[in-house]
Amino acid sequence: MRRIGQTRWGLAVAAWAIALGMFFPILWMFLCSFKTEIAAVAVPPKLFFRPTLENYYAVLQRADYLAFARNSVLVSLGSTLLALALAIPAAYSMAFFPTRRTRDILLWMLSTKMLPAVGVLVPIYLLWRDLGLLDTVFGLILIDSISVLPIVVWMLFSFFREVPAVILEASRMDGATQTEELLHVLLPLCTPGIAATALLSIILCWNEAFWSLNLTTVKAATLTNFTASFSSPEGLFWAKLSAASTLSIAPILIFGWMSQRQMVRGLSFGAVK
């Protein structure tokens, strides 16, 4: 018995060590955001210090930080809504009225995800330039919603399929039209699944860096651009960078923690439930 108890403890210690090790870089940045600029670059690194909120004040007072944050919110919400609007009808039709081609359509949608973004960077850049979409929030919403669309369709499809078709049949017997059936029966039943899908899509769009770095500069630039601008050597204000980064990742981290169990199916394309 004692040996079993010991291995238990050994496992617990090992797991906690790994968990803290993985989380440490984030924690370190978080601590850094409460230091003064001088304390942030102190050698040896300071573990104990007088916390200050001055970095957060400084960051929030910069008008441009708020503009970047606003763009991030607009882009991730806008892309998610657009993707859901396109995906809900498609997932509904494929989940409840599968045809011979449903499987092929689903796989084909997934295959569009395989097209590497860099492969089409040049044409998209030129098209967006000619259409006046470069450096606009709308232009970025279009790209982001298309790039999450396959994942959103797959995830909704897997949630919809768990709704017994009998329930929809019943509402149909009562004379509900297709739209009513979708809006008043299916969507309320699947609210948790749709919420999880929306959260995953928001997370992916919020963290999307390739297109926002390449298609936006000033007006529509998001928080990924803002944080990337700190990479230049002269931008070494670590404490302020930490405060800005903490503000940028905190909401998404919380969303991720909330929906981690459900989003697995979206991320694994249904391979894991």
Which residues in 77-96 contact another protein (CB under 8 A)? Answer: 85-87, 89-90, 92-94, 96
Contact 166, 211 (CB under 8 A): no
Residues in region 43-72 near another protein by CB under 8 A: 43-45
Whole-angstrom distance, CA of residue 231 vs CA of residue 164:
52
41 binds another protein (CB under 8 A): yes
Give the pair of three-digit tokens for residue 6. 């010991």
Nearer to another protein, 81 or 86 (CB): 86
Nearer to another protein by Cβ, of 136 and 207: the residue is 207
Q: Which CB, 60 or 121, lies closer to another protein?
A: 121
CB of 17 to another protein, least distance (A): 10
For residue 170, what are its two tokens?
């019943």
- Told to check if 171 binds another protein by CB under 8 A, we report no
- Binders of another protein in range 94-133 (CB under 8 A): 94, 96-99, 102-103, 105-127
Q: Shortest approach of another protein to residue 188 CB, angstroms?
A: 18
Under 8 Å between Cβ of 143 and 211: yes
Q: Is 183 in the site for another protein (CB under 8 A)?
A: no
Nearer to another protein, 137 or 265 (CB): 265
Nearest to 227 by CA among 65, 74, 118, 55: 65
Interacting residue with another protein among 75, 185, 206, 221 (CB under 8 A): 206
Distance CA 22, CA 45 (A): 19
Window of 56-64, 131-139, 185-193, 251-259 that interacts with another protein by CB under 8 A = 251-259
Number of residues located near another protein, criterion CB under 8 A: 106
Provide the minimum distance between the beta carbon of 145 and another protein in the complex, in angstroms, as a whole number.
8
146 lines the binding site for another protein (CB under 8 A): yes
Q: What is the x/- site pattern for another protein, positions 217-246, by CB under 8 A?
A: ------xxx-xx-xx----x-x--xx--x-
Considering only the stretches 62-70, 133-141, 186-194, 261-269, report the one whose residues sit in contact with another protein under the rule CB under 8 A. 261-269
Cβ 164 to another protein shortest distance, Å: 5
CA atoms within 13 A on the CB side of 191: 4
Query: Residue 63 or 122: which CB sits closer to another protein?
Result: 122
Residue nearer to another protein on the CB measure, 63 or 118 = 118
Give yes or no for a cis peptide into 25 (omega within 30° of 0): no
| Binding status of residue 256 toward another protein by CB under 8 A | yes
Smallest separation, CB 54 to another protein (Å): 18
